[in-house]
Amino acid sequence: MAAPPPAQLTHVGLYVNDVDRMVNFYSELLGLLVIDQGDFLGRRLTFLSRRVGEHHQLVLVSGRKVPEGEIALLSQVSFRLTDDDLTSLRWFHDKALELGATGMEGRNHGNSWSIYFLDPEGNRLELYTPTPWYVSQPWRVALDLADTDEVIREKTQALIEETATWSPVETWNASVAERLRAAEND
């Protein structure tokens, strides 16, 4: 069977209770701009993006039926930062807390350094920066962003060498590329 054509995840839609509050949160946190908005089938839709050529990366839709504090509608929405960029991760950590995010948790997955938190309506977000290593998942330990970049890198390398199946990310990427080529030729 031939592999399917490439497909990229480009946007996520969230049902929300308070569109204005959520527009403010995501605009302030991620720098997203309102691109379009309007009503459709009795719901208010607001489209946000930060990428030229990508009409929207996030659409907020009024009429969420799950009360705040109940089970969220998604497991999580994840945003990738520049590789090995702990400075940006710290910025998002502080900005999210300033904007009222709750449940903030730093995690070291070996292959990424991540923060997880809830937006004002309880949707779970992850922002992460990839590390120079591939680490077999699931794997995680706490991440303390109060540590310096150097300390975080040293701790991560020591921990993965001691406790995980790992390789340099370039080696793993080459392996995945080979597997994808093989799948395309099947």
pLDDT digits (tens, 9 = 90+) for 152-182: 999 999 999 998 789 999 998 898 888 878 8
User: Are 97 and 104 in contact, with CB atoms under 8 Å apart?
Assistant: yes
Cα distances (angstroms) measured from residue 94 to each of 43, 76, 123, 142, 151: 32, 19, 18, 17, 20
Query: What's the mean per-residue pLDDT of the chain?
Result: 88
| 6: confidence class by pLDDT, cuts 50, 70, 90 | low
Q: What six digits make up the tokens of 145? A: 């962003």
Residues 6+ apart with CB under 8 A from 36: 45, 46, 47, 55, 56
Out of 3.30.160, 3.10.180, 3.30.70, 3.40.50, the CATH code matching 75-186 is: 3.10.180
Give the closest residue to 14 by CA, choosing from 6, 5, 23, 4.
23
Q: Which of the listed CATH numbers 3.10.180.10, 3.40.30.10, 3.90.1300.10, 3.40.630.30 matches domain 10-64?
A: 3.10.180.10
Domain boundaries, the chain: 10-64, 75-186
Query: Taking 80 as the threshold, does the pLDDT of residue 71 lie above it?
Result: no
Shared fold status for 10-64 and 75-186: yes
Residue 75 pLDDT level (bands cut at 50, 70, 90): low
The pTM assigned to this predicted structure is 0.78
Angle, CA 141 vertex, CA 137 and CA 145 arms, to 5°: 120
